[in-house]
Structure 1
Amino acid sequence: MSARLPVPAADDSGGSQGVKAQLRLREMILAGELPGGARIAELTLVEILGVSRTPIRAALMRLEQEGLLEALPNGGYAVRTFSERDVADAIELRGTVEGLAARIAAERGVAPEVLAEARDCLASIDRLLERPALDDEAFTRYVDLNQRFHNLLSDMCASPVIVREIERVVNLPFASPSGFVVVQANSPRARDMLIVAQDQHRQVLAAIEQREGARAEGIMREHARLAQRNLREAVLGQVRMPGVRLIRPQ
C-alpha cells in the first residue's frame, strides 16, 4: 500500500529494524492476525518480532500515518477498520488526482525519453498478457509493472506539488493502483480485466502524447473505476484478498 517509502541506509540498524517491523506488522494486519479494533500491545510485539520497543514504536507511528492504525486517547494504538465508502472515496480521490496529473502532462508536454520509458513498460505488460493465463510469478510481475507505469504517469506532470499529493493519496488504505489488483488474480475474469486496464493505459499515454488534456484526465478517472468494481466484489465475498476483513460493508 505504501508508495516510495524511504529505505534506511544499510548501516542504520535501528532504522532498518523499524522498517522490518513495519513490514511485518502490516502483513499481520492485512492477514487478520491482528484483527480490526484490536489494541496493539508493544510488549507482545517485542516478543513476536524479536526487536526492541524503539523500532516497534517507529513502526507503529508509520502505520498510523498509512492509516492502518489509530492512536488511542489513553495512549497506544488499535487496528483501524474502514467502511466501504471510506475506501471507495480514497479510490475516487486517486483517480481525480491522477487524472489531473495526466491532463497537466498532456498540456505541458512530456520529455521524449520519459514517453519512451512508459511505452517500454507497456510493451512488457503486453508480453505478459499474451499468455492465456497468469501464474503467481507472472502476476507479481504485472503488479510491479503496473506500479511502475503509474509512477511514470505521476512524474510526467513535472509538478512536485501534484506528485506529493499522489504519493499521499496512494498511501491511504487500499487506494494504491495495485491495492485491488489481487482481486483480479482470484477472479475467473482475471486476464480479461487486466486487458481492459492495459487498454486504458495505452489510451491515456496516447492522449498525453497527442496533447489531449481533457481526454487524458477522463481516462484516468475511468481507470480508477476498475478498482471500485474490484472493491465491491471483495466486500461481497466473491473473491478473497488480504485485508478485506478490515472493510465494513455499507
Structure 2
Amino acid sequence: MKIAVFVKSVPNPASRPELSEDLRLKRQGREGVLDPGDEHAVEAAMKIAEAHGGEVTAVSMGPASAVAAVRGAIAMGVQRGILVSDTILAGADALVTARVLAAALRRDVYDLVISGVESADASTGTLPMTIAQLLNLPSLTFARRIELRSGAILVERQTSRGYNVLQCPLPCVLSVTAAANEPRYPSFKGVVRAKQARVSTLSLADLSLGPSDVARTQSVVTAADVAPKAAGEIVEDAGAAPARIVAVLEKAGVL
C-alpha cells in the first residue's frame, strides 16, 4: 500500500503570529515547525502502513525552509519526502495550494491520501475536500477512528452531536482529527535519519504548471484580533441556578 500524507511548516504555535503589511503571515526569520494537526495525520499513516504493510510519503508545499516539516514527518517514521517549492507560490491561497498538491500526487499512484483537518495558521479546513475533488476521489473527513478493510476504509466521522460511521472504497482522501490518535515522539534514530534523508524538491515546471494555473483568486482584505472572552456568569442562588443553566443551554441551542 502506498500512502501520501500532507504536512505543513507553520510558525511555532507557542509564539504570537505577526502579519505583514499585505496581511500575509510573517514567516521569514521565524521558527517553522511541523503543524501539530499534521502529526495526527502522520501517525494515522504510520499505523496503517505498519499494520498492513506499505510506504508512506510526506508531501508539502512551501519555501525551502518548509523542508523542516517534511523532515519532522520522516523522523516519525515516514519513508519518503516531497517538497513543492517555487517563488511564484509565495502567498498562495487555499485553492492554489490544492491544485499544486494534487498535481504532485498525480506523479505517482497512491492508495490513500491523509491530512489533518486544518492548518494551525490559515485554518481554512477546505484543503482535503478540494484535493479529493481535483483528483476525482471520494473523501472521508473528520475521522476520529479508522479501520482498514479489504479494499475499503471504515471511519467514525466526528460531528457536533456524536459521530457517523462511514465507509468508502480505496483510493480515497482522509482527514483525521486530534482524537484519532496520540502522535509518537520521534526516536533518536529517526531524527538522525531525517537529517540525512534526501527530500525530493519539485518546482511548478516539474508539475507542468504555469503562472496562470496558480493565480490567486482569494485574498485577505482585513484582519483583527479575536475579541477576548467575556467573564463567566456566577449564579450564587442555588435555587435559581437550575433554571438559569437551562436558559443558557436553550439559548446556545444545546437543548
> Smaller-chain TM-score range?
under 0.3
Q: Larger % of strand: which? A: 2
Structure ID, larger Rg? 2
Q: What is the TM-score of this pair, normalised by structure 1?
A: 0.21
Q: What is the TM-score of this pair, normalised by structure 2?
A: 0.21
